[in-house]
Structure formats: structure tokens, C-alpha cells
Amino acid sequence: MKDEGLTEMAPLDFGPGRDRFLAEVLAGLGKPQKELPSKYFYDERGADVFERICQVEEYYIPRVEASIMQAHIGEMADLIGHNALLMEFGSGNCEKVRFLLDHLSDPVAYFPVDISREQLLIVAEQLASEYPELEVCPICADYLARFDVPEAKRHPERRCIYFPGSTFGNLDPVPAQRFLERVASTCGQGGALLIGVDLKKDPVVLHRAYNDRDGLTAEFNFNLLRRINRELDCDFDLESFRHYAFYNPRMSRVEMHLISDREQAVHLGGQTISFAAGESIWTESSYKYDLKDFERMASGAGFNVERVWTDERQWFSVQYLVCR
Ligand code: AVI
């Protein structure tokens, strides 16, 4: 629901339309191991369920990351410096960036980038009214795809890209490496990346985090099928799939799947897609890193890891990378 009194704000729109959504879903379901792109979780309902996941006790990421931010925000703001242009990838409800903005010295602009058009517009309008001195320019885009970054009205001292929440972990290794290279070219020499990176830990903790008692992660997973049914005229029977998430230690990732309970077929874009009983659709991976592996990747993309902050248990890290 839009807040009254806020002016209508037009995003720069590079977001995928229905045709691309359909093409990507068909391509994923046509593979021997069926898969769906996790970026499509975040329609309005998916974004809302994800916000609720962030409040459950088992899903430690937001809580631990917030504690690291609170403990070290002064140092982070000093490193980012005066007059920065802040861009956020996967800005969601923009909750986290407020804390950062409140501590930065006269940031020139904030560019939130998100694929969820509805949520992006609402929160960008709210932020613009809360920070009247700040240029807020929402960009609707899949941040893995190429898109043009506009110039800020005021000249920034540096571009800093903020990528919290371990969303980086949702990228497979090759796209993850390419993503870091793209970020390095977007922020330019001397520019920075402030990134949340989830770390390897006890698999039991990970299992609980992606199998919460309230069933919110399952609901989040199912919402992808619900969205495909609604937006692409498909006929998935949600009752006949099960949420299945587990930690794969060999690949250092949590895998999320939807398992078909029975042999069945669904119809999409004029095609019939068959499922065997027990067959899975792989919907998401969440990679967990150790500090050395991540540093190697960052360095290969042209970044120096300047600072790493972690919590006492070393469950999560926030890292400040500078582009060489
Ligand atoms: C957004 N991303 C970092 C979350 C994660 O932990 O991979 C998405 C999520 N999937 C299930 N729960 C949360």
C-alpha cells in the first residue's frame, strides 16, 4: 500500500518482463535436473514472506549481520568516507541501508537496485521523503545482468556498493566470480564493495535455518510455483510438492528443492512437463564460504579485502573490499 503524500517516482526499468520469465522457467524445467531461478522468489508476496523469515529465530543471518554492523558502523562509515555514492544490490525493504545512511558523512546519492518492482518503488519513495537531501534513484534490474548506472547529480568521491544479507551466497561459483568482476568495473578504481558473506558452520545450524518450525521457508519456496501459476498460466498442484532443504558439505551450500510427491505433468507455454514421483526442482543454493576462499575470489576479480568483521562465533562476516 502506498503512503499518502509521497510523490510518484519512476524507476529506471531494466527488470525482466513476462516473456523472459517464461523463457527462463521453461529452460530450467527442461534440464535433466529441473531448476528454477531463485531471483523469481521475490514477487510482492515472496518479498513479504522473506521479511518474515528474517524474523524467525532459526534464520540467524539478519540478526548476526546486524550485530556486526552495530559494533563496527563507525569504522565502516570512515572507510566509505565523505560524499560517497551508495548503490545497493538486492535492496529489498531497504531496512539495512537506513542504518548505514544514518552514519555516512553527506552521501551524495543512494541507488537501490532490485528485481521486485513493486517493493522497490514503495521503499524508494519512503526513503526519499525520509532523507530529503539525498538523491534516491531506484533501478529495477536483475543485478546479474548488464544495466546502465546513471550519473549522480552531485559528483561523488567514490562509488560504494552495498550487498548485505549474504545474497552473494545465492550465486553459483562462476556467476559469483563474474558478478564480482562486474561490481569492480561498476565501482571503478578506488571504489568499494561492502558485502555480507555467510560462513561455513555446523550443518545442524544450517539445516534449522532453512527448515524453520513455522514453515516460512517452505512457504517461500512454494510461492515460486504459485507465482508461476499466476503470472504464466501454469497448473502446478502445490499440494503434490514438498519443501526439501539440506546442507551439501561437499559443495559448501544449502540446497533448496521442491519434490514431486507423485508422477504428474504440468502445462506451461504450450508445453507439457512431466515429473516422476520423487523428482526434484532445484530452486535455490546458498553457498557458505570460509574467509580464505572468499578472499581468493575477490582478489581474482580485482579487489583487495581491506577489512573483515565477524561475530564471536565466526558465523557471518561483513567485508570491505577496495577495487585496485
Ligand atoms: C536472500 N538469501 C541470502 C537467502 C538465503 O539465505 O539464501 C534466501 C533464503 N532462502 C531461504 N531462506 C532464505
1 pLDDT above the threshold of 60: no
pLDDT computed for residue 148 by the predictor: 85
pLDDT computed for residue 8 by the predictor: 53
Report the atom number in ligand 1 closest to the C-alpha of 90: 1
Mutate to test the pocket of ligand 1, among 60, 170, 256, 287 (most ligand atoms within 8 A of CB): 170
Instruction: Report, as an integer, the average pLDDT of 29-35.
Output: 98
What is the band of 117 on the pLDDT scale with cuts at 50, 70, 90?
confident
Instruction: Report, as an integer, the average pLDDT of 92-108.
Output: 94
Q: Tell me whether strands 264-268 and 271-275 are parallel, antiparallel or unpaired.
A: antiparallel
Average model confidence (pLDDT) across the chain: 94
Amino acid letter for position 129: S
Q: Are 81 and 158 in contact (CB under 8 A)?
A: yes
Residue 85: how many other CB atoms lie within 10 Å: 24
218 pLDDT above the threshold of 80: yes
CB of 223 within 6 A of ligand 1: the answer is no
CB of 317 within 6 A of ligand 1: the answer is no
Residue 144: all three cell numbers together:
546479474
What is the band of 116 on the pLDDT scale with cuts at 50, 70, 90?
confident
Instruction: Report, as an integer, the average pLDDT of 185-192.
Output: 95
Beta bridge partners of 266: 273
What is the band of 146 on the pLDDT scale with cuts at 50, 70, 90?
confident
CB of 11 within 6 A of ligand 1: the answer is no
132 pLDDT above the threshold of 60: yes
Mutate to test the pocket of ligand 1, among 55, 212, 252, 286 (most ligand atoms within 8 A of CB): 286
Residue 103: all three cell numbers together:
552514519
Instruction: Report, as an integer, the average pLDDT of 149-167.
Output: 95
Distance 61 CA to ligand 1 centre (A): 9
pLDDT computed for residue 5 by the predictor: 37
What is the band of 2 on the pLDDT scale with cuts at 50, 70, 90?
very low
CB of 283 within 6 A of ligand 1: the answer is no
CB of 163 within 6 A of ligand 1: the answer is no
263/21 Cα distance (integer angstroms):
25
- The dihedral built from the CA positions of residue 162, 227, 48 and 316, taken in this order, carries a sign that is negative
Q: How far is CA 246 from the centre of its chain?
A: 20
Residue 54: all three cell numbers together:
528474517
Digit-coded pLDDT (tens) for 8-17: 566 677 777 8
Distance 133 CA to ligand 1 centre (A): 33
User: Which of 23-37, 89-103, 210-224, 294-308 shows the lowest per-residue confidence on average (mean pLDDT)?
Assistant: 89-103
pLDDT computed for residue 96 by the predictor: 93
For atom 7 of ligand 1, the residue with the nearest CA is: 286
CB of 141 within 6 A of ligand 1: the answer is no
CB of 169 within 6 A of ligand 1: the answer is yes
Instruction: Report, as an integer, the average pLDDT of 224-253.
Output: 98
Distance 167 CA to ligand 1 centre (A): 7
CB of 167 within 6 A of ligand 1: the answer is yes
